[in-house]
Structures are given as structure tokens and as C-alpha cells.
Amino acid sequence: MKKNITVRYFAGFREHAGVSEEEVSLAVSNAGDVFERLKHRHGSEEPLGHCKVAVNDEMADWDAVVNDGDTVLLFPPVAGG
């Protein structure tokens, strides 16, 4: 069953997608699925383990369940400091 998800892109992901946020309808079960299914949007060739994800503003694991109505934040490799 497809879920309606709000996806937010940051830094290089946003520049590749051309938008900072979009609504998508995807048949996915977890955050990792969202990342994989939207590769054509964020354009990342990084291993999943180099990137990070938050669901509804909470940092999450890639196997975190994504529910209908959730907001998934896709973070490229971070580089603070």
C-alpha cells in the first residue's frame, strides 16, 4: 500500500533535487526504502551508512518504520566543525 510522505532534502541533496521539500506517494516500509526509491531525486552515490535520516525531526535508523503522513529528512554526509 502506498504511503503519502513528505520528504525534505538538505545541502547537496536539495541542490540535486531542485526543491527542499516534496510530497511523494511510495510503497515503502522504512526510511532506507525511501532513500533508495528517491535516488533519482537526491542523486546520492554515497553508501547509505555515510548518510543520515530523521523522521519527524527525530534522528532515526535506516530501518525505522515510515508511516503514512510522516516527514522524512534525508541528510547527506555531515561535515560540521
Residue in 18, 23, 27, 58 binding another protein, rule: CB under 8 A:
58
- Residue 73 engages another protein in binding (rule: CB under 8 A): yes
> For residue 57, is it left (φ>0), alpha (ψ between -120 and 50) or beta?
left
Name which position in 25, 61, 67, 69 contacts another protein (CB under 8 A).
61
**Residue in 47, 45, 46, 41 with CA at minimum distance from that of residue 20:** 41
- Cβ(74)–Cβ(37) under 8 Å? no
Q: Interface residues for another protein in 12-51 (CB under 8 A)?
A: 12, 46-47, 49-50
Spatial neighbors of 60 by CB under 8 A, at least 6 apart, are: 31, 53, 54
Nearer to another protein among residue 23 and residue 58 (C-beta): 58
Task: Give me the residues that bind another protein (CB under 8 A), please.
Answer: 10-12, 46-47, 49-50, 52, 54, 57-62, 64, 73, 75-81
